[in-house]
Structure 1
C-alpha cells in the first residue's frame, strides 16, 4: 500500500493553485503530481475537480500567465450577461474563451478557445480572475461565428451590460432616459474597434439598447412592441400620483396613454410577490392606467403574441392596420 500523500499547506487546500505558488511555499516538486490532486490545465492543480464554468475559469487562471483574461461567452457568463439558452447550456463543458495580447499570439492549450487583442480591451475582476469588461465583452459577442447570436440577443445582453455598468457607476438614471453611463460605455467600446466583425449587427442592436432594464424578458417584450411598430415605451417608468407621491415602477409604460405592460416571469409566481404585483396593479388602475400582464408565451407563441398585440393596439388607440402583427 502506498503512503498517503503529504497534506497540503492550508493556503493551497482552499482552491486551485499554480506550480509556481507550490514551489514558493516549499512544496516538493513531485507532490503536485500525487493521486489526491487533479490538474485542470498545465501548471494548475486542485484537490477537487472543477465543474461549473466559474470553477473551471478559476482553475485555468491559476495555470495561465497573468497577461490573459477570459472573454466572449466565458466573460459574458462570468459577468452575468444573459445569452441564448443554447450557449448557456453548452458553456459548462465548452472551451473557455481566453484572450491574450496580440504580441503574445493565440492562446493554445486544451480546453481553451484562444483570442488575441487584449491590449485594446478593458478588463475587470470577477472572483479574483481577469475578465474582459462588460462593454468590450458585448462587442466581442457580436464578433462570434455567424449565426451564434442575433440582433435581439445582442440587445438583451446590451441591456444587461448597461444595467451592470450603471449600477457600478453610482449614477441614478432618470426614468424615461434613453442614455446613461452604461449606454455611453457601449458606444465608446464599439466606436473604438477598427473594422470589427459583426459591426452592422452591433450598431443595429445598440440603437435598441436602453438603461433601467431589469430582465431579459423585459427586453424581449419591449422589442416585440417596437418591431410591430408601436410607439416605444419607457422602461421601468416611474408613475406618481397627483401629489407627486410614488405609485409604481411600470415595466413598460406608455405614459401619455396611461398604458402599462408588466412582464410576469417565474419569480412573480411566489405568493408574496404576486400579492405585491396585484396591489401595484390596483394602484395604477385607480389612476386610470390600463395594465396588461405579459407572459413568456405572449412573446414566443404566435397566437398569444397576436392577441396581445391586438389588445395593446386597442389600449393605445393605434390602428392595427398600421402595425406588423404576426
Structure 2
C-alpha cells in the first residue's frame, strides 16, 4: 500500500496553498492525498462561544471545498478527506505517522494564529519524525502555482553532522522535480581569531578550503546515487541561517534538518531551522535526523 501525502487545512487561504502544493507533491510521488482538518473545540475563555454543531458543519464545509477543488484541478489524483476531533498538533502527528510527507500552511512572520508561529506548527514539527513541509503562498496568492520549474532545491548542510536523511530528501525531491540541488554551508572563523589582526590571510583560505573539501565529501555519495541531478556547493562566510535564507530567495524548496531529541517537554527546533521557517518565502521541508 502506498503511503499518502497528508495536508492539514484550517479554512485560511494559506492552507489552500498548502493543499495545492501537497496535491502536486502527491502526483510526483504517485501517491494518494489525504486532506485533514483537526476539529479542536475552543477552550480559551476569550474566544466567543460557538454552537458545536455549527462549528462541525463549518469544518465539513472547509474539507468539502478544499477536497472538491483538488479533485477538479487534479482528476487523476486520489483525494480523501477526514475531520478528526482533538488537539490539532496531536491529530496531525497521528496522521503523519503513516504518511510520506505532512504539509501545512504557513502564515509566516507576525501572524500569531498561523500554523508556524502559533502552537500548532511548532508543536507538530517537534512531535514527529515524518518530513514536514511548510508552505506559504507566493506573491500573496492563496491558490495557484506555489512552485516553479527550474528552481533549485536548496539544502542547508552541517558538515559536522551526519544527516543523511536531510540530503536524501533534498536529492530525491530534486530528481522528482527535474531540478538541481544547491548545498549551502555557512561558516566563520572562531571568535578568538578576532583578537589576531595580524592573522595570515592564508589561514582563512586554508580553513575555507578544508570546509569546501568536507562539503564535497559529504555530497559525493549522493552525486553517485543521483547522477542526473546537477549539484552546486556553496561555502559562504556568515551565519548558517543567514546564508541559507539568502540562497533560498529563488528556491523551489528549502530543506533543513532538525535533530531528534527525545524529551518530556517535546521536540526541539535548531536555530537554523527556526530562522528559515520564520523567514523563508519558499516552501520549507524540515527533516528529522539523529
Q: Greater strand percent: which structure?
A: 2
Q: Same fold (TM over 0.5)?
A: no
Which of the pair is proportionally richer in helix?
1
How would you bin the TM-score normalised by the shorter chain? under 0.3
| Structure whose alpha-carbon radius of gyration is higher | 1
Larger RCO of the pair (alpha carbons < 8 Å, separation 6+) = 2
